[in-house]
Structure 1
């Protein structure tokens, strides 16, 4: 490698294989990893977020993992401030930041220095009251009426983001996406690579991962987190899998149904991730099933190669 150190972001759909590539890159480039998965910020949310166990991290330092209690609210703005500091400290120390994860708005917030619209406590409180009274799906339907594009990118189970989108639309008079930055050169001249797999193969990986989570103590993890206040968390309790297990614990459906709904929710989320990332012309797409992934990324870093749109 020659020239100035550039961060590299490894993004893409859930279960595509990002963590392994990120570790390989950090080892080869003398780097450290910066998590950009919103739910992996939570302490104790390990099994359900597929958080890499410490003994599998190859001794590589990981940032932005286990930094929130489940009672705290995760926000893109707070993440952006903290992660930007991590990136700049690593660059100053001559270390390569390897940014890895799949949280769409977090990625754009960090790499495009997204400045978020102001909030109005009264407007937000009104929508939060509607959320509590009507439920997430009804409020999502309202969002679909006033901002169809936002409704396509926000899950109908994500009450906090639905409320925020409605708040922004009301305060600005413009679609939620209008507050997003214009895509230009990524911050710090970051190289962005995305992994993907054939849909059928990825669905199989999601199903296998979901089954493994439930077999490895996912329900027990949720029960333990309930003792730490999970049910009061505005974001943690809405995470895919955690919400389904909480509903199971409340008697809404049996465990097999909770597992199936977790798989379905993850698969839906993957479709949204793909749609979001495919709109970004800066992304270099790689087939995660192809051999030589590390070498392919190193070639991209060494060249002025333009991203391959698929």
Structure 2
């Protein structure tokens, strides 16, 4: 246990919208809490997807161990269930070493899978393949219509453009005979007593940061990165090729529009995703919110973490 720590070690999760400054805060906390980082961004699981996911270069990780980065080939499908198993094992191992797991990222369902009581229904490759083929050949509108018929509640709650999640919902309904919501996570005390910090910023400021970040990605070689990944099978991956930024560059390569429009569509897609993240995380009453623009951000975050640790000692 690090000097000055009181009571049991509790993980810290740093969540919230993209581009709010989560990675820097997580590093600052890991330095102060004798910690190790556990990534919870689904696209950063992929090897070679660096520029478009704003993955922190090794040289900027301050010597802090990072887990759940670069663990998948781009032809593999990232799944919440597989992540849950692997990331929980990482957290348990970090705790066993007497260090603090600092969990950071904004992939919403992955956060729930790691921190909440969520048992996943079995999968059926044939059912999954059937609906993935429908998605590929006929598009999200047809898949959404099929979900409306099979499970109207799921169709109303899943974003109509989220093809992969609709496919999963159809698979679960067909496999179990029960609504997709029946397999939803049970929200309660976070696993391991994790303290959850949410980082956000004013909307106008965040939009400006997203626009700047998008521009830097394209200036820093996102197009070249996509060309490299094409040689590694990017088009064969069900998940990786649909990531924001990568999908738009692929459309540019295919002649759908020019590079400037690909950049603009990446910015718009990221901004839309940020709104979804904000709405999702704001519904969680367990999250302690901090302002990513606050000059005393680290001090405030550390105070929240310390207060949570002392509350455990006092129980």
TM-score scaled by length of structure 1: 0.93
Kept in 1: contact 2:154–2:169 (CA 8 A): no
Change (3 A) 1:212 1:87: same
Deviates more, 1:104-113 or 1:135-144: 135-144
Match of 2:57 in 1: 53
Change (3 A) 1:269 1:148: farther
- Show CA shifts across 1:70-117 (max 9, x none): 011111111111111110111011010000000001000010142111
SS at match of 2:32: helix
Match of 1:129 in 2: 133
SS at match of 2:50: coil
Name which of 95, 98, 102 aligns with 1:98. 102
Match of 1:176 in 2: 180
TM-score scaled by length of structure 2: 0.91
Match of 2:303 in 1: 299
Q: Does 1:282 align with 2:286?
A: yes
Quote how far apart the aligned CAs of 1:169 are.
3.2
Kept in 2: contact 1:248–1:255 (CA 8 A): yes
Q: Does 1:167 align with 2:171?
A: yes
Kept in 2: contact 1:240–1:262 (CA 8 A): yes
Q: Does 1:242 align with 2:253?
A: no
Kept in 2: contact 1:71–1:234 (CA 8 A): yes
Counterpart-to-counterpart distance in 1, 2:94 and 2:267: 36
Change (3 A) 1:141 1:21: farther
RMSD: 1.9
Q: Does 1:20 align with 2:42?
A: no
Name which of 105, 110, 116 aligns with 2:120. 116
Kept in 2: contact 1:147–1:176 (CA 8 A): no
Counterpart-to-counterpart distance in 1, 2:65 and 2:160: 32
Kept in 2: contact 1:155–1:269 (CA 8 A): no
Change (3 A) 1:245 1:138: farther
Change (3 A) 1:213 1:229: same
Structure 1 alignment gaps of length 5 or more: none
Change (3 A) 1:118 1:13: same
Match of 1:41 in 2: 45
Deviates more, 1:146-155 or 1:270-279: 146-155
Deviates more, 1:23-32 or 1:161-170: 161-170
SS at match of 1:237: helix
Q: Does 1:270 align with 2:274?
A: yes
Alignment size in residue pairs = 305
Counterpart-to-counterpart distance in 1, 2:155 and 2:68: 27
Structure 2 alignment gaps of length 5 or more: none
